[in-house]
Amino acid sequence: MQQAQSEHTAAWQVLAAVVGSKEIIDQSLVGDLDNAVDQIVWESSLEHLLASSPEIASRQADVKQAKEAVRRAQAESVPDINIQAILQHDNSIGTANGNLMVSIPIPMNNKTRARVREAEHKLIAAQQLVSSLRLQLQQRLAPVFQAYTSSQQQITTYRESILVDAQESLDLTKLGYEGGEFSYLELLTAQRTYSQANLDYLAALLKLSVARAKINGLLLTDSLQVQLEEGH
């Protein structure tokens, strides 16, 4: 009982963190878990995760900054060309001549070249971090999606056989008990089996809902849990 109460309190704390309110009241929730069963596809889930993840967006912003740093470094390495025109007139002989002077500095010194290389290396590192994070997100999604599909299979089994069998067994046992064919202990056993089957079914629905919430929430629910634990 105490463990169940602790789990109940922890669940409300997680819900409060999700909705962003510390004033949320412990109360009865309205809804039907049965209606929460839907179909999520691996390919579309992974595509949505990689396209919408704020973690990816943050790394891509770093790549953009690194590209800009490379552009600036390369621009600074382009030499300035100075052109000077000189026109001279000799009044004594009545002639004129002109000169055109073009000065081009050495294209890049060692310091400038080093800045470009450093900027390029930082860009490569930023791009590699994006690729690494994409792989990490795929690896993190895999067990969550496995939990989702496993729960979905369990729910189908409970709906199509286990709950049906438990209900039929309970109904027959009730009739038998009323007709004097079964003892009260046998009736209690059938009721207990029926109740346990429904509890296990609800547990599978909960597991499915949690997995779906993690997938739709871009796997950010784990960070919420860490924040809750750090807040204790």
Q: How confident is residue 162, by pLDDT bands cut at 50, 70 and 90? A: very high
The predicted-structure confidence for 34-77, as pLDDT tens digits, reads as follows 665 568 999 999 999 999 999 999 999 999 999 999 999 888 76
Partners of 194 in beta bridges: none
Residue located via tokens 């009260």? 184
Assess whether pLDDT exceeds 50 at residue 227.
no
User: What pLDDT sits at residue 114?
Assistant: 86
Task: Give the pLDDT mean for 209-228.
Answer: 71
Nearest to 69 by CA among 137, 122, 6, 2: 122
User: What pLDDT sits at residue 230?
Assistant: 46
Contacts of 80 (CB under 8 A, 6+ apart): 105
- Residue 145 in contact with residue 42, Cβ under 8 Å? yes
User: What pLDDT sits at residue 231?
Assistant: 47
Q: How confident is residue 214, by pLDDT bands cut at 50, 70 and 90? A: confident
Contacts of 63-71 with C-beta under 8 Å, sequence gap 24+, read 63/123, 63/126, 63/127, 63/130, 65/126, 66/119, 66/122, 66/123, 66/125, 66/126, 66/127, 67/123, 69/119, 69/122, 69/123, 70/116, 70/119, 70/120, 70/123
Assess whether pLDDT exceeds 50 at residue 32.
yes
User: What pLDDT sits at residue 21?
Assistant: 59
User: What pLDDT sits at residue 224?
Assistant: 46
The predicted-structure confidence for 105-115, as pLDDT tens digits, reads as follows 555 566 778 88
The predicted-structure confidence for 87-142, as pLDDT tens digits, reads as follows 665 666 666 666 666 555 555 566 778 888 999 999 999 999 999 999 999 999 99
Q: How confident is residue 172, by pLDDT bands cut at 50, 70 and 90? A: very high
Partners of 86 in beta bridges: 99
Count the residues in the chain.
Answer: 232
- Residue 63 in contact with residue 123, Cβ under 8 Å? yes
Assess whether pLDDT exceeds 60 at residue 7.
yes
CA–CA separation, 212 vs 186, rounded Å? 39
Partners of 102 in beta bridges: 83
The burial of 77, by beta-carbon neighbours within 10 Å (0-12 exposed, 13-18 middle, 19 or more buried), is given as middle
Contacts of 112 (CB under 8 A, 6+ apart): 73, 76, 77
Which residue did the predictor score with more confidence, 18 or 168? 168
User: What pLDDT sits at residue 54?
Assistant: 92
Contacts of 42 (CB under 8 A, 6+ apart): 145
Q: How confident is residue 206, by pLDDT bands cut at 50, 70 and 90? A: confident
